[in-house]
A and B are shown apart, each in its own frame.
Chain A
Amino acid sequence: MSLGLNLNPLMDRFIEPLAAGPMEQFEIVPIFGLDFAEAIDLSFTNASLWMLITVGTALLFFTFATRQSKLIPGSVQSMGEVTYEFVANMVRDTMGEEGRGFFPFVFTLFIFVFLCNFLGLLPSIPGSPTSVHTFTPTSHIIVTFTLAILSVGLVVVYGVFKHGFGFLKLFAPSGVPLWLLPLITPIEIVSFLSRPVSLAVRLFANMLAGHVVLKVFAGFVGTLLTAGGVLSILSVIPLLGIIGVFLLEFLVAFLQAFVFAILTCIYLQDALHPSH
């Protein structure tokens, strides 16, 4: 009981926000309105802000990485070059030299998704007025879906632009016997249409799940602490859980960005060579 009493001033600042619902972190709050028309609300929200923070972070990092490019790179320059080579190899391995033109797009996609995931993991600092509420744009399905549509849209536009009707060969793989085509073609079409959905849902679900788990564990810590006595001490267990999941989320943040980028590369390979 005495523990609980001691914690009271802390509770106001920390425990109460922790106890908030696990979905509240995904809430979108307008910062300033931008109603062009009654029908469309383009308000600048916390999601918009974090997208711009992502761009700002990338700008800052690459400015430092290329500020004084040297033949023998410094540490930041090395990081920039390692990132560059990483994505460049990904593009080269999947598409070969033909894919060079897609490199800036894939690179932007990778950096954007990775930084959105990564910056969303920064801890929120609760309590007004100096609070920092981190937000993960990629935890919203509409964002990941838009990115997926960008990727698949590029595949379709480039494929049709380059091959015309030949792009439809994508749905009739070469080497398949004629009598199998009525069966194969619908399957290919469905698999093609499910690409943006699977791209979008994979990233969104990973981000959502990670943040929900962190929040739920945090809720446990709050509940156990306020329960007092032995239970307060047991709150260490979910705290350790948070640390574990948090570290895992760093891996997931990178891995999902990587998966998104490499799947985009593989789909773009289809645009280059529709007939498998």
Chain B
Amino acid sequence: MAGAAAAPLLLGSAMAAAAPADVADAAGVEAEGGLPQLNTETYASQVFWLLIAFLILYLLMSRIFLPRIGGVIEERRQRIADDFDKASEFKRQAEDAEATYRQALADAKARAASIAQDTRDQIDEEIKSMQADTDAKLEAEIAAAEARIEETSAKAQMAVREAARETTRAVVMTLIDEQPSDDAIDAALNAAAGSRV
């Protein structure tokens, strides 16, 4: 209020100077039955200075101060709206990320399940093939064993037959002192075996 501080000094001295002289004046105005407000002589000056003051204030406000304040308020509103936008954008992103995560989780689960299934199938396959192999091997071994048994049994029969032949020959020699032919022995043995069967 630098202007205001200096101005009243001016006004004060004006009032002081005017006060004694104005007593008559003021009395005159009051004698006319008027308030100072009804003294039309002051009207021109009042209207003139009022319009000047009002115009200055209007120009100051409309050109400088209102745009400034309005700008700041608008900027703040914009900023808040932006922040809200950003917040909702972040929220959307977070939701997207969650959806992606869920999707990935579901995919992973599905893949895990399919891998497990595949593995299980593969293992089953292997087991089956191994079993088949083993079965085949076992069968072969069994067949070999059977063949061996047969051979052994054939050999044993041959041995028994040889023994029987020798025995027969020996018995015949002893009994009738005659060398029987092999064919006769075989026929006799066959007949004996045939009759026994």
Range class of the B interface residue count: 35 or more
CB of B70 within 8 Å of the partner chain: yes
Contact check, A29 vs B18: say whether CB atoms are below 8 A apart.
yes
Judge whether B12 and A133 touch: CB under 8 Å: yes
Contact A140 B72 (CB under 8 A): no
> Which chain A residue lies CB-closest to B30?
A23
Q: Is the contact region of chain B dominated by helix, strand, or loop, or is it mixed?
A: helix
Report the minimal beta-carbon distance from B69 to chain A, rounded to whole angstroms.
5
Q: How far is the CB of B151 from chain A (nearest CB, A)?
A: 108
CA distance A43 to B44 in the complex (A): 9
Check A55 against B12 for contact (C-beta < 8 Å). no
Check if A121 is an interface residue, CB within 8 A of chain B: no
Q: A137 in the interface, Cβ–Cβ < 8 Å?
A: yes
Of all chain A residues, the one with the shortest Cβ separation from B72 is A69
Interface pair B60/A55, CB less than 8 Å apart: yes
Say whether, besides A29-B22, A142-B37, A112 and B54 are in contact (CB < 8 Å): yes
Identity of the chain A residue whose Cβ is nearest the Cβ of B36 in the assembled complex? A26
Does B90 count as interface, using CB distance less than 8 angstroms? no
- Determine the chain A residues whose CB is within 8 A of the CB of B41 once the complex forms: 41
Contact bitstring A134-155, B, C-beta under 8 A = 1, else 0: 0001011111001100100000
Q: How far apart are A85's CB and chain B's nearest CB, in angstroms?
A: 7
Whole-angstrom distance between the Cβ of A141 and the nearest chain B Cβ: 5
Complex interface: stretch among B3-11, B168-176, B180-188:
B3-11
Nearest Cβ distance between residue B64 and chain A, in whole angstroms? 8
Q: In whole angstroms, how far apart are the Cα atoms of A29 and B47 in the complex? A: 15
* Docked-complex contact A57 and B1, CB < 8 angstroms: yes
Query: Looking at chain A's contact residues, is the secondary structure mostly helix, strand, loop, or mixed?
Result: helix
* Stretch from A44-52, A161-169, A191-199, A232-240 contacting the other chain: A44-52
A112 to B52, CA, bound (A): 12
Q: Give the contact stretch, choosing among B73-81, B96-104, B108-116, B140-148.
A: B73-81
* Contact call A27/B16, Cβ cutoff below 8 A: no
CA of A23 to CA of B14 in the docked complex: distance in angstroms? 18
Instruction: Give the shortest distance, in Å, between B137 (CB) and chain A (any CB).
Output: 88
Q: For chain A, residues 102 to 158, give those with C-beta under 8 angstroms from any C-beta of chain B.
A: 103-105, 107-108, 111-112, 128-133, 137, 139-143, 146-147, 150
**Cross-chain contact A47 with B42 (CB below 8 angstroms):** yes
Contacts of B49 in A (CB 8 A): 42, 44-45, 47-48, 51-52
How many positions in chain A have a CB within 8 Å of any CB in the partner chain? Answer: 66
From B12, B43, B50, B70, A51 is in contact (CB under 8 Å) with B50
Residue from B44, B46, B64 having most chain A Cβ neighbours under 10 A: B46
A80 to B70, alpha carbons, bound, how many Å?
10
Q: Say whether A111 contacts B57, CB under 8 Å.
A: yes
Question: Which residues of chain B are within 8 angstroms of A139 by Cβ–Cβ distance?
Answer: 37
CB-based contact B37/A42 at 8 Å: no
B66 interface residue, CB < 8 Å from A? yes
Q: How far is the CA of A103 from the CA of B58 in the complex (A)?
A: 11
Q: Which residues of A are found within 8 Å of B15, using beta-carbon distances?
A: 29, 46, 128, 131, 133
A128 to B20, CA, bound (A): 12
What's the least CB distance linking A66 to chain B, in Å? 4
Beta-carbon contact of B50 and A133 below 8 Å? no
Q: Is A60 an interface residue (CB 8 A)?
A: yes
Q: Within the assembled complex, what's the spacing in Å between the Cα atoms of A23 and B37?
A: 9
Residue of A whose beta carbon sits closest to that of B54: A112
How close is A210's CB to chain B, nearest CB, in angstroms?
A: 14
Which residues does A use to contact B, with CB under 8 Å? 21, 23-24, 26-31, 34, 40-49, 51-60, 62, 65-66, 69-71, 73, 77, 80-81, 84-85, 103-105, 107-108, 111-112, 128-133, 137, 139-143, 146-147, 150, 204, 208
Known: A28-B36, A142-B37. 13 other contacts (CB 8 A): A43-B45, A55-B60, A56-B4, A62-B65, A65-B69, A71-B75, A73-B72, A80-B69, A105-B58, A130-B9, A131-B12, A132-B11, A141-B37
Which A-B residue pairs are the 9 nearest by beta carbons? A128-B16, A104-B62, A48-B49, A132-B8, A51-B53, A131-B12, A62-B65, A26-B36, A66-B68
